Structure 1
Amino acid sequence: MNNKTLSCALAIALSTGFNPSIFAAQTTAVPAAIEHVDNHFDNKGKPPSTYTVEFQKGVRNTLPFADKRDFEEARKGFIAAPAYNKIMADAGNVAWNMGSYDFLLAGKDFDTVNPSLQRQAVLNMAYGLYEVVPDRIYQIRGFDLANITFIKGDTGWIVFDTLTSKETARAALDFINEKLGKRPVVAVVISHSHADHFGGVRGVVEEADVRSGKVALIAPVGFMEHAVAENVYAGNAMNRRAFFQYGLLLPRSPYGHVDMAIGKNAASGNIGLIEPNRYIEKDFESVTIDGVQMEFQNTPGTEAPSEMNTWFPQFKAFWAAENVTGTIHNIYTLRGALVRDPLVWSKNINNALYRYGQQADVMLAAHNWPRWGNERIQEVMRAQRDAYANLNNAVLHAANQGVTINEIHNVYKLPESLKNTWATHSYHGSEEHNSRAVINRYLGYWDANPATLMPLSPKDSAPLYVEMMGGAAKIMAKGKALYDQGKYREAYEILNKLVYAEPQNTQAKDLLADVYEQVGYQKESAGVRNSFLAAAYELRNGMPNGRAPRSGGPDFIRAMSTELWLEYLGISLDGSKVADLHFVLNLKTPDNGEQFVVELSNSTLTSIKGQQAKKPDLTLTLDRSALEGVMARQTSFDQLVADGKATFEGDRKPFAQLMAAMTPFTPDFELLPGTKQ
């Protein structure tokens, strides 16, 4: 394997944390532009069963749908919507298409969508410019997964969070300037280290203006490290799993994708990253820019490892970042990420409640809609505070009485009082997977039963179950009977075994898909719905073909530390190919003064910063700026040597063997057996 292939593997992993729709935008199998409202988009798809229809009726009859305050708040302050509903990317593809969700505005109840989730999906159809605080704070909603917020200063705009892509952010800035008068951007505040909040930064500001200090770019401490590193190590796996959580293959349809809980979905444009010129490092820190007073509250370890809220004392407005939105969030993210801490989350909401919430007149956030009136703000903040704390405390209460990770999702229930509060419904997370995450955080994945400590792989255990159950025909008959009785969880328990044992059994995969589909129709959580429906799609049609995603771009390569890159190489290494090789490399990057020792031993690659081996096998010297060309797949080490930009001193043979043992990760592996075409 050559060095360009190695860099390709790195770049693929880099892309996953920044925009889950990148792959979808380039995948030939994605039918996202097709709308199927009255008819199923898949010729194998099924309508909602009588059990699903009755389930949806039960939801409509038991939840407080008469409470319309969210709809009033979502409409409040509306100024104008653009004449267009598509935003094009510079590359020529559609970066954003709000119109693809117009079926949600038809006023029809869809029995293929949980009524509570449909309600959330309709609320997220807000599209256009909204006034939050008269003549001072504005939001543009519906241009991307997140909101972009504009604060009117004495001379210009202070922009809070810049959406996912350059194109959608640029469109938002153009639109507010068109409607309210053109003003320069004097500052940008990034609330946290997720791409739907910083990826569009180049659409609202020039990097040179940030570098010169003309424009302040403010972020919480740790922002750059987490923005780049959070999803690198397992990035390729996360990218593939995003097909399920984000429903990347599902058409926008009552039978498919309807919402992502905190917005419709992420845009597919150019994602950028500019290093901030000011970091908020204290727990609470006050800043005044262009006449606007702001107090920042650092909230690390909540929705993101680096995140902050903001209080505007002049306007009595509280910006809740992504810590208090229109849903209970993920404690465990289905695409994969480090488990979050609901107790820390609850405590940070409580701190904000007592410091700001008791005097705030409006609360707005990076997603969903604002809340007005102090009583209403305190109601929502207390409810979400209690929901996160209850999740933590009640799950651990059960765990301390012997309930295990494999049981808790069937035991934990949100208190009835919180079920009647819309703000505590889990449209992004779910009570099931969040409760399991709490036990995993404290006790790990093992339930203390030795049989589950080192279980057989599913493909090895499944044939035993199939044999003991009397073969495929009996399992199919029982699975169909369970499906006909609306016992979907029991049905997929046994059909999943059959599909693993016989991955080419089309009838088994189709029946399992039918089961998954009904479960998906019923689920309130958008991510869980998408996961079941996407699994059904792949069982019926196979997993997607198409090109792997492009890299996160030069901004992310520049921002990625050499140390992080070397650690990722250790993950990329197939140690079995270099089992007998011991190799010591000194790496020097003179332009930034860094030095590393990279050592291969025992099939493992390790590195240490700030050291040099006394007797290395090889010394590689090149500027960090030149190394970035290799990392970005724009050049190779051989070409850098030929251009006089890199030198090797010593034996290059072991280095060549090391490079040949690197695995070019691509997200083209099966999540379900028998689905790879």
Structure 2
Amino acid sequence: VSRAALALYRAHRPDKPVVAVIYTHSHIDHYGGVRGVIDEAEVKAGKVTVIAPAGFMEAIAGENVLAGPPMARRAQFQFGTLLPRGARGQIDAGLGKSVARGTPGLIAPTMSIARPVETHLIDGLEIVFQLAPETEAPAEMHMFYPELGVLNMAENACPLLHNFIPLRGAVARDPRIWAKYIADAIAMYAPRAEVLIGQHHWPTWGRAAVLDRLETQRDLYKHIHDQTLRYMNKGWRPAEIAEVVELPPGLAERWSVRGYYGTVSHNVKAVYQRYLSWYDGNPCMLHPLPPAPAARKFVEYMGGAEAVIARAKADFARGEFRWVAQVMKEVVYAEPANVAARALCADALEQMGYQAESATWRNAFLYGAQELRHGVFKMPARGTISADTLAGLSTDIFFDLLAVRLDPAKAAGQAMVINWHFTDRDERLALTLSRCTLSHRPGERSDAAASITTTRATLDAVILGRTKIADALASGAIRIDGDGARLAALFGMLDQPSGLMFDVLTPGEGR
């Protein structure tokens, strides 16, 4: 996709070489197309510079690797990628019409912006970089081009209400800090900015319009943050606060802050989560039954599924779609094969989707309805991490990835220490299995049962399923000193990719 975009640009503009790529932040739609723009060989030869904010690679690992499978599955609901296109299906993704197709890539940065503000001359053009971490992304930055009067706010000042937590899931973002970095950009750059650009929307032209956009975005995020805290400090709960917080005059009538992507409702809940966690303070909610057993009890107490469905149909006729979806969820979790309950829940979700202004809410509601009616699409099991992303991980994060795949039942009673030497990175680490938990430290341990010499590229290939341990041992790509059985034993304790299409709308018991 990025290669096609560059070709379209060059069809109408001079065909000049790319000498630098700037990753504004650590989300895959802002770095995944890099291989369509540059060749890694040119980067290694020093002909192309890849620039990113500090913490970029670590942020990628946290958001796209360790929790990659559930995040990718939830993204199907957020973006509606498996919905049919059209008036009854997917029509938008909030920040654009849809997500990009193609294979995502990654080339590691060669230059990191580490100070709060840095100025660099890139191909003769002065660029002022302003770090804005923990805003829309864990690692993000703004750029100002003094010679051009252009301010690039990355994804921190889009002409809409953004997410404090996207529906795909993420660590809760900090709207207070977000507003602060916008305010800093106003103070530093707005008096000289003639054009405001970002990576998802059209430019804003004119100094007055740029200032207005930035001030509006600053106040938008700060208002939702402050009003949520105001109600929290009065003892209100997340869902209660979400019902009453509204945008004030001066914001409410502005098209550029509408909830086409994020919403006031779920952003309020994100603020609550950031400060007070998932727990609302009521001890009755501290240790509830899991969803499916609780649903069976609820339905039994309410007189059985038929009685609940009959009452829900009457509420549906009155347009109480939120409640119908909520109560039918309990019936579906109690009786996943109940066709009438699934159909009524789907009907309610569908109506909520048609009424939603937020594209991501619409997609989630309509995709939920689709899965209730037709079931989960059958797709082959595959990993959610690309070869480029895996190769870009630090070895520290790589071993964390192994650790979250460890099955305690298979590791029970086992203990071992394995020294690793990665010759292509000149790294040595000691991996310890103890009490059904994997941990690692730099350096080697004298009590290791085995010492393994290999390359990260070889181990990456094993994780991706492109080579087998036995073949790597036979070829000499992996060498083991000590107890050679320990490596196979370790990998035998790890979960294999189980597939992306796990249940969301139904209990998924026994998955």
Shared fold per TM-score greater than 0.5:
yes
Q: 1:487 aligns with which of 320, 330, 333?
A: 320
Give 1:523 deviation, angstroms: 1.2
Match of 1:325? 158
Cα contact 2:72–2:384 (8 A) shared by 1: no
Deviation digits for residues 208-248 of structure 1 (CA, Å, limit 9, x no counterpart):
22222222322212222323442211111112111211112
Give 1:552 deviation, angstroms: 4.2
Return the alpha-carbon distance in structure 2 between the equivalents of residues 266 and 233 of structure 1.
Answer: 22
Match of 1:426? 259
Give 1:288 deviation, angstroms: 2.0
Return the alpha-carbon distance in structure 2 between the equivalents of residues 400 and 203 of structure 1.
Answer: 50
Q: 1:211 aligns with which of 26, 31, 44?
A: 44
Return the alpha-carbon distance in structure 2 between the equivalents of residues 402 and 290 of structure 1.
Answer: 55
Q: 1:641 aligns with which of 429, 450, 473?
A: 473
Return the alpha-carbon distance in structure 2 between the equivalents of residues 263 and 627 of structure 1.
Answer: 37
For the residue of structure 1 that corresponds to 2:127, the secondary structure is: strand
Match of 1:619? 451
Residue type at the aligned position of 1:611: G
Return the alpha-carbon distance in structure 2 between the equivalents of residues 541 and 187 of structure 1.
Answer: 47
Residue type at the aligned position of 1:270: T
Cα contact 1:512–1:536 (8 A) shared by 2: yes
Residue type at the aligned position of 1:639: D
Cα contact 1:316–1:359 (8 A) shared by 2: yes
Matches within 5 A, 1:64-463: 168-463=1-296
Give 1:602 deviation, angstroms: 1.5
Return the alpha-carbon distance in structure 2 between the equivalents of residues 339 and 588 of structure 1.
Answer: 37
Residue type at the aligned position of 2:464: A
Return the alpha-carbon distance in structure 2 between the equivalents of residues 649 and 435 of structure 1.
Answer: 56
Cα contact 2:50–2:109 (8 A) shared by 1: yes
Cα contact 1:589–1:622 (8 A) shared by 2: yes
Task: Please tell me whether residue 562 in structure 1 is matched to residue 395 in structure 2.
Answer: yes
Give 1:575 deviation, angstroms: 0.3
Return the alpha-carbon distance in structure 2 between the equivalents of residues 365 and 590 of structure 1.
Answer: 41
For the residue of structure 2 that corresponds to 1:418, the secondary structure is: coil
Residue type at the aligned position of 1:620: I
Give 1:484 deviation, angstroms: 0.4
Give 1:285 deviation, angstroms: 1.3
For the residue of structure 1 that corresponds to 2:93, the secondary structure is: coil
Task: Please tell me whether residue 606 in structure 1 is matched to residue 439 in structure 2.
Answer: yes
For the residue of structure 2 that corresponds to 1:318, the secondary structure is: strand
Give 1:493 deviation, angstroms: 2.2
Match of 2:365? 532
Give 1:655 deviation, angstroms: 4.0
Give 1:656 deviation, angstroms: 3.2
| Equivalenced residues, count | 509
Instruction: Describe the shift of the 1:244–1:551 C-alpha distance in structure 2 as closer, same or farther (beyond 3 A).
Output: closer
For the residue of structure 2 that corresponds to 1:230, the secondary structure is: helix
Give 1:332 deviation, angstroms: 0.6
Task: Please tell me whether residue 465 in structure 1 is matched to residue 298 in structure 2.
Answer: yes
Return the alpha-carbon distance in structure 1 between the equivalents of residues 344 and 320 of structure 2.
Answer: 13
Return the alpha-carbon distance in structure 2 between the equivalents of residues 639 and 655 of structure 1.
Answer: 13
Residue type at the aligned position of 1:502: E
Return the alpha-carbon distance in structure 2 between the equivalents of residues 551 and 417 of structure 1.
Answer: 43
Deviation digits for residues 280-306 of structure 1 (CA, Å, limit 9, x no counterpart):
222111122233221111111111111
The farther-off stretch of 653-662 and 189-198 is 653-662
Q: Any gaps of 5 or more consecutive residues in structure 1?
A: 1-167
Residue type at the aligned position of 2:73: R
Instruction: Describe the shift of the 1:553–1:237 C-alpha distance in structure 2 as closer, same or farther (beyond 3 A).
Output: closer
Give 1:200 deviation, angstroms: 1.5
Cα contact 1:259–1:526 (8 A) shared by 2: yes
The farther-off stretch of 544-553 and 576-585 is 544-553
Cα contact 1:538–1:675 (8 A) shared by 2: no
Return the alpha-carbon distance in structure 2 between the equivalents of residues 630 and 551 of structure 1.
Answer: 15
Match of 1:504? 337
For the residue of structure 2 that corresponds to 1:417, the secondary structure is: coil
Matches within 5 A, 1:2-41: none
Residue type at the aligned position of 1:522: Q
Return the alpha-carbon distance in structure 2 between the equivalents of residues 444 and 582 of structure 1.
Answer: 35
Cα contact 1:271–1:552 (8 A) shared by 2: no
Instruction: Describe the shift of the 1:400–1:563 C-alpha distance in structure 2 as closer, same or farther (beyond 3 A).
Output: same
Give 1:408 deviation, angstroms: 2.2
Return the alpha-carbon distance in structure 2 between the equivalents of residues 287 and 534 of structure 1.
Answer: 46
**Structure with the greater relative contact order (CA < 8 A, sep ≥ 6): 1 or 2?**
1
Return the alpha-carbon distance in structure 2 between the equivalents of residues 411 and 599 of structure 1.
Answer: 51
Task: Please tell me whether residue 631 in structure 1 is matched to residue 463 in structure 2.
Answer: yes
Cα contact 2:3–2:37 (8 A) shared by 1: yes
Return the alpha-carbon distance in structure 2 between the equivalents of residues 380 and 591 of structure 1.
Answer: 48
Q: 2:492 aligns with which of 654, 657, 660?
A: 660
Return the alpha-carbon distance in structure 2 between the equivalents of residues 443 and 601 of structure 1.
Answer: 33
Match of 1:6? none
Instruction: Describe the shift of the 1:540–1:171 C-alpha distance in structure 2 as closer, same or farther (beyond 3 A).
Output: same
Residue type at the aligned position of 2:250: S
Q: Any gaps of 5 or more consecutive residues in structure 2?
A: none
Cα contact 1:231–1:337 (8 A) shared by 2: no
Return the alpha-carbon distance in structure 1 between the equivalents of residues 42 and 193 of structure 2.
Answer: 33
For the residue of structure 2 that corresponds to 1:572, the secondary structure is: coil
**Cα RMSD for the two superposed structures:** 1.8
